[in-house]
């Protein structure tokens, strides 16, 4: 939940409240939550106690715990109903109840502004919540109207951009961020994206795209994209990698994905193959590292993907994968089936020289190198004058592959 919480540490007379604000300013939210909860009962005035409860509610929203918010907004409501309505509406959104949110803050007109001295909540923030609720309720035109008003009043308000990202991330709504980016001051780029770290990545990507088209590859935007793109899918990461390279940047988001231990091996492998088109040495290194760790059942399918994405580095994949006889034979079949007879034959020969080759049964050989592949490989071996391999391939049907 994006908020412009006032962190100016003017003493309030409550040690717990003042320490909580200090912790919040240091981004120690868990500790701040505990101290704000203490301040609800320890603060000397109702005004500070109410603000402490509002801060707790906002932090709970930030932690994705909306079901706990009402306990604290009930303490706020008697003293600042506008603030309680705003926080309850934000909680309703997280609970997938846009109609409940609209019941609290209304669906049009000027919103009621909270009075809290230490928790400023401008109209733009309330309109942003309203716009998000309207979009979720299927009223996109009304949501756009709210955003237009809000961004006209405060073009770089964090809550507005969080809402734009959320709506733009929904393919069913098809919101174009470009008209809003047209209102964004260039000097606000870094601050704006800094507030979007928890927003849906597809929406943040859409905003970055619109910013790139408007501002071009200026330094702050290049830095933003370099941080964002590795968290997108491979196709978008590659798009941004190409753009960054054209802009003279050294960042390679798609290879950052290839080197990310938190991603599935198959995704990393595809990213490595794609990234090798731009940085071949680094791409090959990533490809080899991932390929060596692939399970046997994936190597044939992924071999085809590497051959499709970046055939020029397929040799690195083959070398990394070809560590056992079954893996060599499976790869030989893939290469043979796709017209690469010479490397397929080399793989077959290599596989048959590895330890454990003698343990391979005729049935196992037949499963790894089916009849069509055996015929093609036998033809390649005959052309190369390797009669021994021809004999091995032709003997499988009789039950003796060696």
The string of pLDDT tens digits covering residues 1-17 is 544 444 455 678 889 99
300 and 332 both lie in a single domain: no
Per mean pLDDT, which range of 1-5, 19-23, 313-317, 377-381 is the poorest?
1-5
pLDDT at 6: 47
328 and 311 both lie in a single domain: no
Residue 346 maps to a domain: yes
Residue 270 maps to a domain: yes
CB 347 within 8 A of CB 318: yes
pLDDT digits (tens, 9 = 90+) for 127-157: 999 999 999 999 999 999 999 999 988 888 8
Residue 143 maps to a domain: no
Task: Give the residue with greater pLDDT, 8 vs 83.
Answer: 83
Of 276, 305, 320, the domain-final residue: 320
Asked whether residue 399 carries a pLDDT value surpassing 80, the answer given is: no
387 and 367 both lie in a single domain: yes
- The whole domain housing 375 covers 322-402
Mean pLDDT on 239-255: 94
What is the average pLDDT value for the chain, to the nearest integer? 90
333 and 278 both lie in a single domain: no
pLDDT at 85: 96
Confidence tier at 281 by pLDDT (50, 70, 90):
very high
373 and 346 both lie in a single domain: yes
280 and 239 both lie in a single domain: yes
Quick check: helix, strand or coil at residue 107? coil
What's the chain's length in residues?
402
Instruction: Give the gyration radius of the chain's Cα atoms.
Output: 30
Of 291, 320, 349, the domain-final residue: 320
Per-residue burial over 188-225, b = 16 or more CB atoms within 10 Å of its CB, e = otherwise:
ebeebbebbeebbbbbbbbbbbbbbeeeeeeebbbebb
pLDDT at 99: 97
Residue 244 maps to a domain: yes
User: Based on the structure, what is the number of domains in the chain?
Assistant: 2
Asked whether residue 243 carries a pLDDT value surpassing 70, the answer given is: yes
For a pLDDT cut of 70, what percent of the chain falls above it? 96
Question: Residues near 221 by Cβ (< 8 Å), separated by ≥ 6?
Answer: 189, 208, 211, 212, 215
Confidence tier at 401 by pLDDT (50, 70, 90):
low
Of 320, 346, 371, the domain-final residue: 320
Mean pLDDT on 303-330: 92
pLDDT at 1: 52
289 and 377 both lie in a single domain: no
pLDDT at 402: 47
pLDDT digits (tens, 9 = 90+) for 282-296: 999 999 999 999 999
Residue 265 maps to a domain: yes
250 and 226 both lie in a single domain: yes
Mean pLDDT on 12-23: 91
One DSSP character per residue, 284-322 reads: HHHHHHHHHT--GGGHHHHHHHHHHH-GGGHHHHHHHH-
297 and 359 both lie in a single domain: no
pLDDT at 361: 85
310 and 344 both lie in a single domain: no
Residue 30 maps to a domain: no
Task: Give the residue with greater pLDDT, 99 vs 8.
Answer: 99
pLDDT at 3: 47
Residue 298 maps to a domain: yes
CB 330 within 8 A of CB 299: yes
CB atoms inside a 10 Å sphere around CB 164: 31
pTM equals 0.81
- What are the residue ranges of helices labelled H in 98-183? 98-105, 123-136, 140-153, 158-168, 178-181
297 and 363 both lie in a single domain: no
Token pair of 194, please?
A: 């800094």
Token pair of 14, please?
A: 């409550």
Residue 259 maps to a domain: yes
311 and 333 both lie in a single domain: no
């Amino acid at each position: 939940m994006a908020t412009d919480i006032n962190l100016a540490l003017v003493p309030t007379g409550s040690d717990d409240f003042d320490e909580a604000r200090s912790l919040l300013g240091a981004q120690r939210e868990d500790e701040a939550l505990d101290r704000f909860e203490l301040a609800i009962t320890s603060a000397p005035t109702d005004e500070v106690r109410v603000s402490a409860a509002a801060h707790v509610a906002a932090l709970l929203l930030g932690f994705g715990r909306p079901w706990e918010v009402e306990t604290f907004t009930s303490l706020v409501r008697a003293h600042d109903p506008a603030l309680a309505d705003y926080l309850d509406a934000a909680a309703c959104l997280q609970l997938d109840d846009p109609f409940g949110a609209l019941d609290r803050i209304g669906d049009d007109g000027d919103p009621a502004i909270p009075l809290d001295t230490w928790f400023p909540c401008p109209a733009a923030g309330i309109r942003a919540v309203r716009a998000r609720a309207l979009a979720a309720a299927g009223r996109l035109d009304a949501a756009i109207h709210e955003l237009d008003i809000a961004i006209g009043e405060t073009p770089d308000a964090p809550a507005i951009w969080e809402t734009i990202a959320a709506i733009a991330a929904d393919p069913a709504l098809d919101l174009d961020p470009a008209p809003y980016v047209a209102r964004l001051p260039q000097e606000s780029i870094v601050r704006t994206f800094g507030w979007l770290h928890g927003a849906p990545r597809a929406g943040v990507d859409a905003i970055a795209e619109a910013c790139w088209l408007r501002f071009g590859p200026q330094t702050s935007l290049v830095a933003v994209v370099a941080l964002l793109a590795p968290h997108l899918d491979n196709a978008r990461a590659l798009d941004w990698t190409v753009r960054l390279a054209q802009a003279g940047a050294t960042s390679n988001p798609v290879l950052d994905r290839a080197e990310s231990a938190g991603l599935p091996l198959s995704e990393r492998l595809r990213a490595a193959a794609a990234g090798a088109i731009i940085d071949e040495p680094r791409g090959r290194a990533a490809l080899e590292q991932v390929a060596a760790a692939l399970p046997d059942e994936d190597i044939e399918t992924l071999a085809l993907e590497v051959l499709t994405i970046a055939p020029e580095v397929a040799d690195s994949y083959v070398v990394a994968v070809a560590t056992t006889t079954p893996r060599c034979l499976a790869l030989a079949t893939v290469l043979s089936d796709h017209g690469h007879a010479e490397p397929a034959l080399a793989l077959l020969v290599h596989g048959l020289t590895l330890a454990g080759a003698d343990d391979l049964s005729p049935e196992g050989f037949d499963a790894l190198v089916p009849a069509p592949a055996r015929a093609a490989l036998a033809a390649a071996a005959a052309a190369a004058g390797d009669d021994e391999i021809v004999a091995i391939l032709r003997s499988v049907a009789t039950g003796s592959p060696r």
